[in-house]
Amino acid sequence: MTFMFVTLVNQPTGEAAATTEAYTLESAHNYANSFDYTWTITKTGASQIRVYFDRYQVESNYDYIYVMSKTGSTFNTYTSSTMKYAVWSSYSYSDTIKIRLKTDSSVVYYGFKITQIDYTAGSSDTTPPTVSVTAPTNGATVSGTTSVTASASDNVGVSKVEFYIDSALKSTDTASPYSYSWDTTTYSNAAHGIYAKAYDAANNAGTSSTISVTVSNTAPPPPSRVAGFEGYLYTGQTHNHAKEYGDDGLNTISSNLNYMKSTATPVFDFGGLTPHNHMVTDANMLTYWNTMNSYTTSTFVTIPGQEWSSTSTSNHVNVFLADARCNVANGDIPGFYSWLQTHGGYATFNHPGYGNDMSNWQYYASCDKPGNYEGKVVAMEMKQTLGSTSWFSDYTEALGKGWHIGMVNSDDNHEGNPGDKFTNNPRTGMWLSSLTAANIEKALQELRFFGTQVEGAYVDLQVGSYTMGDVFSGTNGMTLTAKLNPGLTYTSVQIYIDGTAYTMSGSSGTYTYTINAGEKHYYFVRAKTSSGGYVISSPMWSDTGASPPPPPPSGNVLTSGVTVTGTLSAAGATAMWTIQVASGATSMHFVLTCSTGDYDGYGKLGSEPTTSSYTWRAYNDGNEDYSYANPGAGTWYIMVCAYSGSGTYSLTVTIT
């Protein structure tokens, strides 16, 4: 058994405001495997308290130090295989702070040593500040960079003012006049809510009413850009390799990215590097991605990714914009899809045609989510060689099994100089309103992309008001229109409907075909150029089975402040509840206690949440205590999910 030691040094009998004193708390050095323990430090009468880590070292992304509030909510998480020194935690705004050490079953390091605490004596001041948003005005239309201002006052003094956009904290100002410069160009052209919170020294907080403004930014057409049905044409590649941090390319990250943006013919608008997950460590993967992000400019955007792979050629998948390195062994296909749901990002099936890839494209509904979701498969990679179709049956097979995926193409270049490995210059094209990282992620979500074996070839689709990547309900006799580069010559332009090819009519880059969109089908276009190469669109889907969201469950209705109980039978089991929220509500307080398991909470306005689609979630280990500010009016769906274990639970949701 491994013991932990706590030593108190010079702890005074009385407390004063803003006091720092010696206080020693340390783990065993080195700590044990599979260890999980929480220490509690209390200074009776204090209004806030924090701790000073003289040093800490735990295995990165496997072992963790959590700093928690009196109620067990985590506000600091530390994990680093490199020794860190002289770190003050954030404040716990009560008389108690908790420190938890949780380790896995392999590799041990120093642990931690705390040598000081800092606390502030309690105050008799219980009056919160008053605050209001003074600009912009409620109902205003804003664009560009807009100044958000607030006025605040307090009976003692205002210590800080926080600004929130759509319930997300965006800025904190500690001196009057309180203001925040809001770049509205990073937000959608729609209504957005703004409110402010003011604090005093006793940590009393006052919240303003929420104002609504409409963002309206008109992006000018990019110069020399082809206009599609939704956005403008940008091209690049997503799948290449560098030699740093253990990956097996020949050129450095810097050399590859500079070549993409400045030297390749034509130059890339966006570029991805995808280090093999089995060659790169967790920490190095994050460094790799951070290095890539530093090369993003207004004319070139990087797409950080990784290739889930092994020494075998089968079961290779790229994952872009996930939050961690995939640590699932290649070949564990169910494990990979479970990881993808947890860590988000967008996956593409790589170099098909080698046989038995991903269990012959076995369908996993949990990772096939049309629309704006993360944690899903979005594409298949076409063969780069001019005129190659050996992989094509894999694409139609995957679509036939239910996958909602599009088409991409890249060099998969390990030799350096991405974009010049093949003389035909294979590319991925995207239709974007403008070149930003956010718009690229949106294109990945919505399948606004295509793959080509031919330089200069492009394709976009439209049916009525719907465009490439959409799932829609239509009627029979609708026209599908394909837009192609009129400067190229085509020997065939075909629409594939559920895997069967039909010849489209047209010329000068515009081709049409009448479809029965009142029935359930998928459609994509494959055009062959006179050079022998192909350009292939992402599909569209007509789905008359689409239905409105289900009505609220009649038996699981919550009343504000009233505790209910339930039972979950196993890990992964869920229970759905609803609660009505009136306009003007300022807080939704979610409290969940469970008997033996580890249960999480998810909330969403207007429709049922899932573990990958939600407005908020509460997911600490064990019990949950979470507050969501300014919930919108309407029916909120509250899901309780068993992350592990089973048994009874108690749930209280309070609306104020």
- Domain total of the chain: 4
Q: Is residue 527 part of a domain?
A: no
Q: What is the mean pLDDT of the chain?
A: 88
| CA 535, 484, 422, 270 torsion-angle sign | negative
User: Using omega within 30 degrees of 0 as the cis cutoff, is the peptide bond preceding 266 cis?
Assistant: yes
Query: What is the rounded distance in angstroms from the CA atom of residue 292 to the CA atom of residue 264?
Result: 17
Cα dist from 198 to 174, 280, 286, 536, 587, whole Å? 10, 45, 35, 54, 16
pLDDT above 90 coverage of the chain, percent: 59
Looking at the structure, do residues 376 and 416 belong to the same domain, yes or no?
yes
Domain boundary residue among 188, 215, 242? 215
Domain boundary residue among 69, 90, 121? 121
The pLDDT of residue 612 is above 50: yes
Looking at the structure, do residues 410 and 445 belong to the same domain, yes or no?
yes
Torsion over CA of 422, 409, 325 and 297, rounded to 10 degrees?
Answer: 80
- Over residues 487-499, the mean pLDDT reads 95
- Which of 94-103, 404-413, 600-609 is predicted least confidently? 600-609
- Here the CATH number for the domain that contains residue 186 is 2.60.40.10
Looking at the structure, do residues 279 and 320 belong to the same domain, yes or no?
yes
- Over residues 63-80, the mean pLDDT reads 91
Longest dimension (CA), the chain: 89
129: which DSSP letter?
P
Nearest residue to 148 via CA among 130, 163, 166:
163
Extract the tokens encoding 53: 């880590």
Q: Are 416 and 203 in contact (CB under 8 A)?
A: no
- Residue 312 pLDDT: 64
More confident residue, 7 or 369: 369
Nearest residue to 323 via CA among 307, 345, 308, 341:
345
- Residue 550 pLDDT: 45
User: Using omega within 30 degrees of 0 as the cis cutoff, is the peptide bond preceding 486 cis?
Assistant: no
- Residue 8 pLDDT: 37
- Here the CATH number for the domain that contains residue 601 is 2.60.120.380
Q: How far is CA 431 from the centre of its chain?
A: 21
Looking at the structure, do residues 47 and 163 belong to the same domain, yes or no?
no
- Residue 635 pLDDT: 84
Contacts of 445 (CB under 8 A, 6+ apart): 346, 371, 372, 373, 374, 378
Looking at the structure, do residues 285 and 306 belong to the same domain, yes or no?
yes
The pLDDT of residue 630 is above 80: yes
- Over residues 40-61, the mean pLDDT reads 92
- Judged by DSSP in three states, 510 sits in strand
Nearest residue to 394 via CA among 445, 330, 446, 351:
351
Q: Is residue 510 part of a domain?
A: no
Query: What is the rounded distance in angstroms from the CA atom of residue 384 to the CA atom of residue 388?
Result: 7
- Here the CATH number for the domain that contains residue 14 is 2.60.120.290
Domain boundary residue among 63, 88, 121? 121
Looking at the structure, do residues 247 and 298 belong to the same domain, yes or no?
yes
HSE, CB side, 13 Å, CA atoms: give it for residue 432: 24
- Residue 403 pLDDT: 94
Q: Are 449 and 408 in contact (CB under 8 A)?
A: yes
The pLDDT of residue 589 is above 80: yes
- Which of 166-170, 309-313, 526-530 is predicted least confidently? 309-313
11 pLDDT tier (thresholds 50, 70, 90) = very low
Contacts of 106 (CB under 8 A, 6+ apart): 33, 62
- Here the CATH number for the domain that contains residue 341 is 3.20.20.140
Burial of 310 (0-12, 13-18, 19+ CB in 10 A): middle
Q: Is residue 516 part of a domain?
A: no
Looking at the structure, do residues 29 and 144 belong to the same domain, yes or no?
no
Contacts of 350 (CB under 8 A, 6+ apart): 239, 307, 309, 316, 317, 318, 381, 412
- Residue 80 pLDDT: 95
Q: Is residue 103 part of a domain?
A: yes
Structural domain boundaries enclosing 383: 232-473+482-487
The pLDDT of residue 621 is above 80: no
Q: What pLDDT, in 10s, does the model give residues 234-276?
A: 999 999 999 888 888 888 999 999 999 999 888 999 999 999 9
391 pLDDT tier (thresholds 50, 70, 90) = confident
Q: Are 266 and 455 in contact (CB under 8 A)?
A: yes
Looking at the structure, do residues 142 and 85 belong to the same domain, yes or no?
no
Predicted TM-score of the model (pTM): 0.54
Angle of helix 282-293 relative to helix 253-262, nearest 10 degrees, comes to 30
Q: Is residue 503 part of a domain?
A: no
Q: Is residue 496 part of a domain?
A: no
The pLDDT of residue 415 is above 70: yes
The pLDDT of residue 502 is above 90: yes
The pLDDT of residue 42 is above 80: yes
- Which of 12-16, 126-130, 213-217, 283-287 is predicted least confidently? 12-16
Q: Is residue 519 part of a domain?
A: no
Q: Is residue 533 part of a domain?
A: no
390 pLDDT tier (thresholds 50, 70, 90) = confident
Looking at the structure, do residues 86 and 141 belong to the same domain, yes or no?
no
Instruction: Write the DSSP assignment of 237-280 as a string of letters.
Output: ES-B--SGGG---SS-HHHHHHHHHHTSSSPPSEEEE--BTTTS
Burial of 94 (0-12, 13-18, 19+ CB in 10 A): middle
- Residue 313 pLDDT: 60
- Over residues 398-407, the mean pLDDT reads 93
Looking at the structure, do residues 153 and 276 belong to the same domain, yes or no?
no
The pLDDT of residue 622 is above 70: yes
Burial profile 553-572: b = 16 or more Cβ within 10 angstroms, e = fewer: eeebebebeeebeeebeeee
355 pLDDT tier (thresholds 50, 70, 90) = low
Q: What pLDDT, in 10s, does the model give residues 194-213?
A: 999 999 877 789 999 999 99
Query: What is the rounded distance in angstroms from the CA atom of residue 634 to the CA atom of residue 615?
Result: 14
Looking at the structure, do residues 338 and 256 belong to the same domain, yes or no?
yes
- Residue 545 pLDDT: 47
Q: What pLDDT, in 10s, does the model give residues 269-327?
A: 999 999 999 999 999 999 999 999 999 998 999 999 999 986 666 679 999 999 999 99
Looking at the structure, do residues 302 and 185 belong to the same domain, yes or no?
no
Query: What is the rounded distance in angstroms from the CA atom of residue 419 to the CA atom of residue 302?
Result: 15
